[in-house]
A and B are shown apart, each in its own frame.
Chain A
Amino acid sequence: MRANQTLDAIWSRRSRAFREETLPYFRYMGQSGFPAFMSLILISSAIGYLSLIRQLPADFPIAATGVFSLMLVLCWSPLRTWLGAGDTVFLMPREAEMDSYLRRSLRYTSVGSTLLAAIVLLLYIPIYSQGPAINSGWILAAVAAALKAGNVWGAWRERQMTWSGMRRLMRLLRWVTTALVLAVWLTCAAMQAAAFTILVGLLFLLIHRFPSRHRLPWERLIEEEARTRKRYYVFFGLFIDVPTLPSRIAKRPYLTWLLRAVPYSNRNTFVYLYTASLLRTEIGGILIRLLLLGCLITYWLADAVSLSGWGSFLVFGIFMGVLAVQLGGLRHVHRYSVWKHVYPLPDKQRVDQYLKVDRVAMLICAALLWLFMALPLALSAVYTPTIAAAAGAIFYVAVRPSRLRKKMLADADEE
């Protein structure tokens, strides 16, 4: 009992330490234009949502929207454990007592993700009610709660799995199963849906019996915690200098050809290095996800010729801004690298080569985003917003290098 209290105290102390560590960064974020920017997005989304539920198009994909949006929030099951590398030495000997520690972690993280799922469900129900609405909102809420519990359990079992390949397979299965169960509840009668859910649930339980598991997956939990912390700092890095944490690397073999395309020559040394960093670090990952999301939303608005095409223009501008800020984080990646000083290359050359990578990346992002706006609008014979967006993007890409160069010189002076 006494030992349990101690582990409980460790959990509380670590949680408090993280809050205290990140509080100043949240303050910096508050002082930046980010809250205003988010408010703008929130207000415009709220207006869009209200006008959508007031006049829902007859061919609106009600069930597909529900499956997609609810699946995302129900399957997402993060876990904050505050565990660090040293815990394999200090906490591992007390593994037998770790149940209460982890239960607290599960409780702590499940509350947040459940709340998010509840909000999405509340937003979805007005859309759902305008369709056939075979089952009541209360039933949907009960199903969502059961699915959330199942996903939290499933995600924990996946973390315990010994083999990464099996863990990924089971995660895919969990997401697909959740989507299927949601689709059935949104389109079929309660009895049929309940029978299907019970069947799938039993099958899911059965499959989970087979894979080999750790009792407590220390390494995976430590890695997950490190990744979560890294994400916080990548986010804070948009507003202020943050401590450098080891970056998480993704191989992204489908993009390696871009790295190979960099010519082998002394004047491309840093082009090569920064391209690799862009393609394989978290910055590149976020950039790719943002770009995909931006293209999708721009396309939707352009296809609907919303606000005579100016809706997609606005979204194009917002995403260009977010992508530019995210891409700007690349300049911090090798800021403290010893090789920057050891390689026989002048610092000016490093800055020039960095700017080259930045310019090409920005141009590719802008061009892709613009195409998803220009093509649907051209089909509707709307051209002015497209031309305005192209002009704005060209102007921005032209002035960005000199602004970045100033920032890099200021960084160098600080060092």
Chain B
Amino acid sequence: MDAILQVSHLTGGYSPRRPVLHDISFEVKAGEMVGLIGLNGAGKSTTIKHILGLMKPQTGEVKVDGVTLEEQTEKYRAAFAYVPETPVLFDELTVEEHLRLTGMAYSVQNSQYEGREDELLQQFQMLPKRKAFASHLSKGMRQKVMIMNALLAEPPLYIIDEPFLGLDPLGIRSLLERLVEVKRKGAAILMSSHILSTVEAYCDRFIVMHHGHIIAQGTLDDVRQAAGLSMRSGSLEDAFYKLVTGGND
């Protein structure tokens, strides 16, 4: 499988003297869902900002679809869709106008656009709200709009930061169903979340971050092994707890 996202020896942060991320390396392959987990302040959002190109690496590099941002800006940006932790919408646009804007930005064919728009609105129970302005939506609905926008673009890579915050149970189910579907079609997904049971159930591999370092990565067994647990014993949450507390109860 090809790696859609490659992060190599990335060190970065807000100040050169105090980097937040320390030499982190990982990749996400096509058809794979990877869970990025860690405590608050572990460096998950900073990692995502580096991938988005909102922050510049101090050392190391980030490649999306085989290119860095500097090499081919448009190819790099067209290769992923992003769902931020806090919904960032344009207050002056309605739900369907957001989808239209995304369709235009990601060059979704007009013929495909209308079908996808209706399907997404229906799947996320947003048909009655299609003409509502972003400012009139609840937080969960705003998050649904963000998710629908990402899914509309159908890019090779999805970067999803805490997608379940504020979502209702039906919304969570729809999102997970769609993620499984796009993964089956060959998309790569990097998902950051604190809901470890869901991450464990849906992700193929895991990256555990702590104080800006990757302290474990790989399959559930790899993470268990790094935590000092025996194979096939204990959940992701058990392993995570051991890793971040150093095994002290």
Contact = CB atoms under 8 A, between A and B. Distances in A.
Interface of A: 246-247, 249, 251, 259, 264-266, 268-269, 272-273, 276-277, 279-281, 334, 337-339, 341-346
B153 to A, nearest CB: 9
Interface string B88-114: 101111000100110111110010010
Given A268-B104, A338-B54, A249 B113 contact: no
A9 B133 CA distance: 39
A343 B105 contact: yes
A247 B106 contact: no
A276 B105 contact: no
Nearest to A251: B133
B110 A266 contact: no
A342 B90 CA distance: 14
Contacts of A337: 88, 90
Interface string B66-94: 00000001111110001010001011110
B166 interface: no
Contacts of A251: 133
B53 interface: yes
Contact of B77 (A249, A259, A344): A344
A399 to B, nearest CB: 29
A249 B133 CA distance: 9
A265 B105 CA distance: 8
Contact of B101 (A249, A273, A338, A346): A273
Contacts of B59: none
A352 to B, nearest CB: 15
Given A276-B97, A281-B92, A344 B104 contact: no
A346 B74 contact: yes
B93 A276 contact: yes
Contact of B92 (A249, A269, A346): A249
B97 A345 contact: no
Interface of B: 52-54, 73-78, 82, 84, 88, 90-93, 97, 100-101, 103-107, 110, 113, 133, 135
Given A264-B113, A272-B100, A345 B54 contact: no
Given A272-B100, A341-B53, A247 B105 contact: no
Contacts of B104: 264-266, 268-269, 272
A264 B103 contact: yes
Contacts of A266: 104-105, 107
Contact of A272 (B101, B107, B113): B101
B111 to A, nearest CB: 11
A249 B91 contact: yes
Contacts of A281: 92
Nearest to A280: B92
Contacts of A247: 91-92
Contacts of A277: 90, 92
Contacts of B82: 342
A268 B76 CA distance: 20
Contacts of A265: 104
A273 B90 contact: yes
A247 B134 CA distance: 12
A276 B77 contact: no
23 contacts: A247-B91, A247-B92, A249-B92, A249-B135, A264-B104, A264-B110, A268-B104, A269-B101, A269-B104, A272-B104, A273-B90, A277-B90, A277-B92, A279-B92, A281-B92, A337-B88, A338-B54, A338-B84, A341-B54, A342-B77, A344-B76, A344-B106, A346-B74
